[in-house]
Amino acid sequence: MIQPATPEDLDRLLPMVNALSAHHGDPEACTREALERDLFGPDAFVTVLLAEAGYTTLYPTAQLHWGVRGMEMHHLFVHPHQRGTGLGKALVLAAVAHAKTQGARYLSLGTHPDNAKARDFYAALGFEVIAPGPRLRLKF
């Protein structure tokens, strides 16, 4: 089951955020306090959709000159033992559904320049490459 994270999920979410950082060779800089601030504080501005073995992070964006709202998918993480099970696809589809409920007309994201596998994954879900790259967007 995929659902929006709650404050009770912070201790389960933090190790996943840090695992993604480690995967990219980044320091484990995120703290529980930072997650709480950004997800649930008075100035919260991100949404995390959480599954037992993964998560995705979304934040609002817009193309003001077109009068269009969108959502940016900042993270997609699936525990290594769950990769290839369809959880990543389910998280992306949940992100699309959430974005639509927020009045968004697109979901955008970026990938590492060397990660062709990720771009192929998103392309198979209907995302199109946009410039500057590597950026992708799904319009709805």
Contact 91, 54 (CB under 8 A): yes
pLDDT in tens, 81-129: 999 999 999 999 999 999 999 999 999 999 988 889 999 999 999 999 8
What is the pTM assigned to this prediction? 0.91
- Answer yes or no: is pLDDT of 132 > 80: no
pLDDT band at residue 131, thresholds of 50, 70 and 90? Answer: confident
Exposed, middle or buried, 26 (CB in 10 Å: 0-12/13-18/19+)?
A: exposed
Residues 6 or more apart in contact with residue 104 via CB below 8 angstroms: 60, 69, 70, 71, 140
- Answer yes or no: is pLDDT of 32 > 90: yes
* Token pair listed for 45: 């501005």
- pLDDT value of position 81: 94
SS (H, E, C) 74-117: EEEEECHHHCCCCHHHHHHHHHHHHHHHCCCCEEEEECCCCCHH
pLDDT in tens, 37-94: 999 999 999 999 999 999 999 999 999 999 999 999 999 999 999 999 999 999 999 9
How far apart CA 114 and CA 22 sit, in angstroms, is 17
Q: Is the N-terminal amide bond of 134 cis, ω within 30° of 0?
A: yes
CATH 3.40.630.30 fits 3-105, yes or no: yes
Domain ranges of the chain: 3-105
- pLDDT value of position 64: 92
- pLDDT value of position 89: 98
pLDDT band at residue 135, thresholds of 50, 70 and 90? Answer: confident
106-110 and 68-78 strand pairing = parallel
Of 9, 1, 19, the C-alpha closest to 40 is 9
